[in-house]
């Protein structure tokens, strides 16, 4: 059994994304329903951790408040001023980024949750950890919120590890179904971080995340975009990780791996068109644990990003966290047989061809690595 950390704070659930239906603000012809990024998926995951008994076997890691200094390593002062003003009133922080009153306060705790987990892993208080934070972070840019993300949680924690904690190189493996454009931008000219994003080809942001974006300057070659065709199932993901993601990490040899962990590649997600299952996510987790054990003393931090099906996300999360803890919760995912039996879970020839070309891409960009 591993000592696995969990960050959770009820206040994460109080971030108010407003009156909406899906990603659309309500009104002007849209009947009010629920914003896609609402508390349910996250709260139900926490409830399932409690109900299964797994939560009590985890180490509670207390989030802290991300300071201006932490935030300004990634974001501009102008953007922080804008968020500070909107914190009093609510409003929109950028592109599809609704804020309620007090949302910046909560976003500071969200980024601070990932910061605290990175510290806990580096200090050896836990072997690995899951930061169940909200709002998410991987789309947020230096000067603009995007895709429900206010602060770039993972990137802020990554710079903290590099600048304050003495690590010399780290890697991000973003398996959210959408492109990790914010993390990519934050480390665009930075060779101390290998930023890998596995995402559905051209999903969100539009036209974002092609293989050609490899970083610039000193960071040239250190950004690896791995877009997969819509409809990719478990075997496509496992094959991509086995053939490209794991070899990339083995060549780069990071001292810490941070996973912006979205569950919106799940088969029933309303904002993605991939077909992953709980067993699939658990397998990806195991692969990254094995790499982390080999190169970074097991240091592996997952931080919660997207995932919008409130019925299935809790089981995906439970499967991942029980894998991290190396402790079966004893609770099965009742959706697993339904999802696993969907046609197209096997590796399709067109997916195999994409993976082959992505391996070629890795071979090219990794020539930049010292
Ligand atoms: Zn997403």
Decide if 361 is catalytic. no
**Cα-to-centroid distance, 365 and ligand 1 (Å):** 25
| pLDDT single digits (tens) 185-202 | 999 999 999 999 999 999
**Cα-to-centroid distance, 311 and ligand 1 (Å):** 17
**Cα-to-centroid distance, 206 and ligand 1 (Å):** 13
**Cα-to-centroid distance, 261 and ligand 1 (Å):** 9
**Cα-to-centroid distance, 200 and ligand 1 (Å):** 10
Interatomic CA distance for residues 175 and 295, integer angstroms? 20
Interatomic CA distance for residues 320 and 21, integer angstroms? 29
Is the omega angle on the peptide bond into residue 205 within 30 degrees of 0, that is, cis?
Answer: yes
Note every long-range contact of 26-35, with CB atoms under 8 Å and residues 24 or more positions apart, other chains counting: 35/98
Only one residue has tokens 């207390």, namely: 62
**303 with 153: CB under 8 angstroms?**
yes
Interatomic CA distance for residues 156 and 71, integer angstroms? 6
| pLDDT single digits (tens) 29-61 | 999 999 999 999 999 999 999 999 999 999 999
pLDDT band at 136 (very low <50, low <70, confident <90, very high): very high
**Predicted model pTM:** 0.98
Structure tokens at 101: 């009153």
**Structure confidence at residue 10 (pLDDT):** 98
**Structure confidence at residue 217 (pLDDT):** 97
Write down the catalytic residue from 35, 139, 160, 179: 139
Interatomic CA distance for residues 154 and 174, integer angstroms? 10
pLDDT band at 370 (very low <50, low <70, confident <90, very high): confident
In sequence order, what are the residues at sequence separation of 6 or more whose Cβ sits closer than 8 angstroms to the Cβ of residue 290? 246
**Cα-to-centroid distance, 254 and ligand 1 (Å):** 24
Residue 156 has pLDDT above 80, yes or no: yes
**Cα-to-centroid distance, 48 and ligand 1 (Å):** 21
For the segment 143-147, the average pLDDT, to the nearest whole number, is: 98
Q: List, in sequence order, every residue forming a beta bridge with 196; answer none if it has no partner.
A: 173, 224
Q: List, in sequence order, every residue forming a beta bridge with 223; answer none if it has no partner.
A: 195
**Cα-to-centroid distance, 307 and ligand 1 (Å):** 6
Is the omega angle on the peptide bond into residue 135 within 30 degrees of 0, that is, cis?
Answer: yes
pLDDT band at 341 (very low <50, low <70, confident <90, very high): confident
**Closest CA relative to residue 251, chosen from 127, 128, 368:** 368
**Structure confidence at residue 325 (pLDDT):** 98
| pLDDT single digits (tens) 277-315 | 999 999 999 999 999 999 999 999 999 999 999 999 999
In sequence order, what are the residues at sequence separation of 6 or more whose Cβ sits closer than 8 angstroms to the Cβ of residue 291? 246, 249, 250, 257
């Amino acid at each position: 059994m591993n000592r696995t950390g969990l960050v959770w704070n009820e206040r994460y659930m109080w971030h108010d994304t407003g009156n909406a239906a899906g990603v659309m603000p309500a009104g002007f012809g849209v009947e009010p329903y629920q914003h896609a990024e609402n508390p349910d998926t996250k709260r139900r995951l926490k409830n399932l951790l409690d109900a299964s008994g797994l939560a009590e076997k985890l180490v509670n890691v207390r989030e802290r408040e991300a300071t201006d200094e932490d935030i300004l390593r990634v974001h501009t002062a102008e953007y922080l001023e804008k968020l500070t003003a909107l914190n009093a009133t609510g409003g929109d922080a950028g592109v599809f980024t609704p804020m309620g009153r007090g949302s910046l306060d909560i976003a500071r705790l969200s980024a601070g949750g990932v910061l605290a987990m990175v510290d806990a892993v580096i200090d050896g208080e836990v072997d690995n950890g899951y930061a169940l934070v909200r709002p998410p972070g991987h789309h947020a840019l230096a000067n603009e919120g995007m895709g429900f993300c206010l602060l770039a949680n993972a990137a802020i924690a990554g710079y903290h590890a590099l600048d304050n904690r003495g690590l010399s190189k780290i890697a991000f493996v973003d398996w959210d179904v959408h492109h990790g454009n914010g993390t990519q931008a934050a480390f665009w000219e930075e060779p101390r971080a290998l930023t890998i994003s596995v995402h559905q080809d051209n999903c969100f942001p539009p036209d974002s995340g092609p293989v050609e974006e490899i970083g610039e300057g000193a960071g040239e070659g250190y950004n690896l975009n791995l877009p997969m065709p819509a409809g990719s199932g478990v075997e496509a993901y496992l094959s991509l990780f086995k053939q490209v993601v794991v070899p990339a990490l083995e060549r780069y040899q990071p001292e810490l791996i941070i996973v912006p962990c979205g569950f919106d590649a799940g088969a029933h997600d309303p904002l993605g068109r991939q077909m992953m299952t709980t067993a699939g996510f658990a397998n990806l987790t195991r692969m990254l644990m094995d790499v982390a054990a080999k190169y970074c003393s097991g240091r592996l931090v997952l931080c919660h990003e997207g995932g919008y099906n409130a019925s299935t996300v809790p089981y995906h999360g439970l499967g991942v966290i029980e894998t991290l803890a190396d402790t079966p919760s004893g609770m099965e995912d009742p959706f697993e047989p339904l999802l696993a039996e969907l046609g197209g879970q096997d590796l399709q020839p067109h997916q195999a061809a994409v993976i082959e070309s992505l391996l070629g891409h890795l071979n090219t960009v990794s020539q930049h690595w010292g």
